Amino acid sequence: MSYLILVRHGQSVWNLEKKFTGWVDVDLTENGKLEAKKAGELIKTKNINIDIYYSSIQLRAKNTLKLIKQILEDSKVSKEAWQLNERHYGALTGLNKDEMKKKLGEEKVHQFRRSWDLRPEPLDKNNPYHPINIDTYKKIPINKIPNTESLKDTYKRVLEFYKQEIENKISNNNILISAHGNSIRALCKYLFKLDENQISKLEIPTGNPLIIKLDEENKITNCKYLDKERAKDLVVF
């Protein structure tokens, strides 16, 4: 028996401002920090020894994990991977979601946010929000940096990393991953065997640990959000 714990980062500055964030490397709000600390406290009540920690290379996920580990009083070195980054929202990056609903219509914005294989228009490479212009991503091979992504694209890079680096470790380790709404949705699609319609309905709350219990064959035997008041529908459970 082992545990896989998935945590979407706490509320970020651009979450609060209702902006499409994607690969822009914004940090947590004060409320986001409180969410991360509460996540740590909830995990601590389970008395689970975390063997391996992972996060994306984005500040909001890294700092969420840092705060969780402080609460757990765990000094293990975390593993960081750009493949766990949030989905790239292309030309929508930095735009306000409510304003885009007025401009494009609520249905179109919903499609951009939740559809499986629809990509927004690419983000211009001269835009300061493009990853090639952000120091955080300087070490990523240029041919791996996207201009825009669909959830399908995000799923592909997340799952490639998960299968290569994480899946074979689960049976012998308790693992915690601090990542993002769409990278966690990608993992959930794989873990829960969701179809393209089901994944469009899956909403991941910020700073609320999703704890997944697995048997010796890595089959899920139970899963739940630790903060019941902020839990979302898991579609399959």
- Read out DSSP for 23-73? TS---B-HHHHHHHHHHHHHHHTTT----EEEE-SSHHHHHHHHHHHHHHT
Note whether 131 and 137 are within 8 A (CB): yes
pLDDT band at 78 (very low <50, low <70, confident <90, very high): very high
Per-residue pLDDT at 188: 95
Residue 233 above 80 pLDDT?
no
DSSP state of 119: P
What domains can be seen in the chain, in order of their start residue? 2-55+65-230 (3.40.50.1240)
User: Do 127 and 133 touch, CB atoms closer than 8 A?
Assistant: yes
% of the chain beyond a pLDDT of 70 = 98
Of the listed 35, 86, 88, 130, which one is catalytic?
Answer: 86
pLDDT at 236 over 80: no
pLDDT given at position 19: 96
Q: Is the pLDDT of residue 235 over 70?
A: no
9 in active site: yes
Q: How large is the C-alpha radius of gyration of the chain?
A: 17
Span 162-214, pLDDT tens digits:
999 999 999 889 999 999 999 999 999 999 999 988 888 888 999 999 999 99
